[in-house]
Amino acid sequence: MTMTKPQDPRGNQAESGPHAAPVLGFINPLPSVTPAKAGAQFRNVNLDPDPLPPGWVVRRGDSSSGATPASTSLRRNFLIGASAFAAFPASWTFAQEKLDAPNVVPISDLWTTSGQPTAAALAGLAARGFQSVIYLAPPTVDSAVKEEPAILAKQGVDYHNIPIPFGAPAEKHFDDFVAAMRLYGKQKLLVHCEVNMRASCMMFLYRTIIRKVPVETAYESVTKVWTPRFAWKPYVESTLARHGIKFEVY
């Protein structure tokens, strides 16, 4: 019996850095979901969990290779798989499980953007290693989890709300987001809104303007969710232009 790690079929989506975790192999690639219209709700498909450590594949030899009886082989597979799995930090395991939220997009080993997580998903954020949450929609929107601040507080997860009206993003909102990133950007952070439209744009602007990530590279995370339109197309372009960056949203 041999155990192999498959290649990551999603490709390398995260920025490299000193804290980047090694890729162990992903068995469930994240889909690229494009909402048909503003406000549309999409959720990632949850597949049945693999009974072995995530990403590992067991290959058994045939009788000619001296394979042991099935019961012995299965018992050995379990023991070897369990011991190998136990050696990995828990955070690596959680990183390979899907967050129950629309349009989850990993940005780096520390940052993730998404739409509104379910109450159960919020309750498990600390177990996944998250230390802070920035919520970019008004807490009065229909999709909001009203108890989100309390759910996070019980886990010791910091919560910061910047209530951006979807139809009226303003220059002040970007300034507020930059200030929040200065507070929480060195922690494992979830930035979310309703369906990752506000969040994807604000993270794109922050990475491009403040972190100096090449604009085309940073924009890839936005295209995984949508093409900014309505008030957001001129907002993104004008915010970039104020900082000397010429870019046309597509």
In angstroms, the CA 156 to CA 132 distance is: 9
| Domains of the chain with bracketed CATH | 2-50+90-242 (3.90.190.10)
* Rounded Cα distance, 141 and 159, in Å: 17
SS3 59: strand
81-126 per-position pLDDT tens digit = 444 334 434 433 344 468 999 999 999 999 999 999 999 999 999 9
What is the reported pLDDT for 91?
A: 38
Task: Return the pLDDT at 228.
Answer: 98
CA-to-CA separations, 54 to 10, 118, 153, 182, in angstroms, rounded: 15, 23, 30, 34
What region does 60 belong to: left with phi over 0, alpha with psi -120 to 50, or beta? beta
pLDDT tens-place string over residues 3-19: 444 444 444 444 444 44
Distance CA 23, CA 211 (A): 24
Over residues 63-77, the pLDDT tens digits come to: 333 333 433 333 344
Q: Is 114 helix (H, G, I), strand (E, B) or coil?
A: strand
